[in-house]
Amino acid sequence: MSTTIEAATAPPLPDEAPLADDVRVVAPMLTGGRALGLAPVSGATWAGAGQIVLAAAVSLAASVLLVTGVALGVGLVVLVVGVPLLVLTLVLARGYGAGERARLRAQLGVVVLPPAPGPGAPYHPRTWWPWLRDARSWAAVAHALLTCLLAWTAGSVAFSLAAFALVVPAAPFAGRVNALHLVLLVPGAVVALWLAALVVQLTNLAQVRLTRTLLGGRSRAEAERAARAAEQRADVAEDRAEHLRETRTAAVVAADEERRRIERDLHDGAQQRLVALGVELGVARRTAAQDPAAAVAAIDAAHGEVKEVLAELRDLVRGVHPAVLTDRGLDAALSALAARCPVPVDVDAQGVGDGVGPQAQAAAYFVVAEALTNLAKHATATRATVRAAVDGDRLRIEVADDGAGGAHTAPGGGLDGLRRRVEALDGTFHLVSPAGRGTVLTVEVPCAS
């Protein structure tokens, strides 16, 4: 099964056209070839001319309105009414921006993505200050002024050139024109016509770039930063999911191995002893009449068997889950472990247990149990300490000894199973055991587990 983290996938980059795309759409003659040859009659030129005319009209009206609003607002700031007036102007500027984006789309087929919305409806003074600081709204005001300047200037130049180019063919009918004039004027008219188209297309290119910059959405750099951040979040989430998958599998494996160990212990221990016990009792019954002495010996052997089976079952049951942990808590359970260890063990677990979940307590108990078993078996230690403490929301257990060191978590071994158990609880497991310098096992598990 695979886990997909939907929310963390990177959003697609905004469809922000690079300069080359804008050139292709609104100033195709710059690309040369056919578009250059047919520039005066191309759709881009005529749509562009229309755009300039409308831009000149719209931006002039908008500039007058917005500049008046800003001037009045600034002038009246001392009378307080200036502030809402400024805010209103900025809201209108935003509206102008939306209109401009729609106009460019309709006239040139250029899509400019909107910026993040403004600071909310300005009904409450609380929103006024954010509005006054809203860079995108002020940029819309600037856009109106710059568009006004661009459209009127470039528009005048373009229409003058076009007018010149159209007047020249009429010149022969006006008389007083000689061959020299024609030789100069006709190429001049042709050049003027192409220059007019060039001015129109360049103006539109400038207009589109201006609109993208001042009225557009977030910049490419911003979008890339956001995408990178989203990718990083996705990576973190993926790593986390991978970790959870691994530890979950490991937990299942560990539980399975534990069940198999219990089955083996029961099979090799208690079951065999009980069968042997049955044989002894069967022999006793069979021989009771003829050979009472043999029967008594068999019963004695059976009695010994029963006691050993009980001891074995007691150990086994404690290994499955220690009753003292449930009844008396972690401190008592750890002390009981220490008492059974052949090596002297200092236990410091005062008051640990309140607020520590049963899984965390059980993990702590079995970590200490396994560590002490290993220590008794291999470590040639003379002293050991067990410390359990709650540190924030983590239960921290440390088992240290002064033995031979060199302990490691062999796959399938007891320590390895415990490591997986701890990791399944989102805990950490550190084993430091340099040869000849003792062993320190540190385990942390979330208390809540």
Partner 1 sequence: MRIVIAEDSVLLLDGLTRLLTAEGHTVTGYRTADELVADLGDPAADLPDVVVTDVRMPPTHTDEGLRAAVHLRGLHPRLPVLVLSQYVEQRYARELFAADARGLGYVLKDRVADVDDFLAALARVAAGGTALDPEVVAQVLARSRRTLSDVLSPREREVIALMAEGRSNAAIAERLVVGLPAVEKHVTSILTKLDLPPDADDHRRVLAVLRWLEDGPTNGARP
Contact residues for partner 1 (CB under 8 A)? 264, 267-268, 271-273, 275-283, 285-287, 294, 305
The nearest distance, CB 281 to partner 1, in angstroms, is 7
> Left if phi > 0, otherwise alpha if psi is -120 to 50, otherwise beta: which for 392?
left
E strands, 86-148, in order? none
Shortest distance in whole angstroms from residue 286 CB to partner 1: 5
Measured distance CA(336)–CA(4) in Å, rounded: 46
Q: Torsion angle of alpha carbons 122, 128, 130, 135, nearest 10°?
A: 90
Kindly give, in sequence order, each residue whose CB lies less than 8 Å from that of residue 356, ignoring residues fewer than 6 positions away: 330, 364, 390, 395, 447
Could you tell me which of 217, 70, 81 has the C-alpha nearest to residue 144?
A: 70
What is the C-alpha separation between 350 and 359, in angstroms, rounded? 19
**C-alpha separations of 299 from 275, 276, 286 in Å:** 14, 12, 12
For residues 70 and 141, the answer to whether their CB atoms sit within 8 Å is yes
CB 420 within 8 A of CB 372: no
Residue 285 and residue 296: Cα distance in Å, rounded?
10
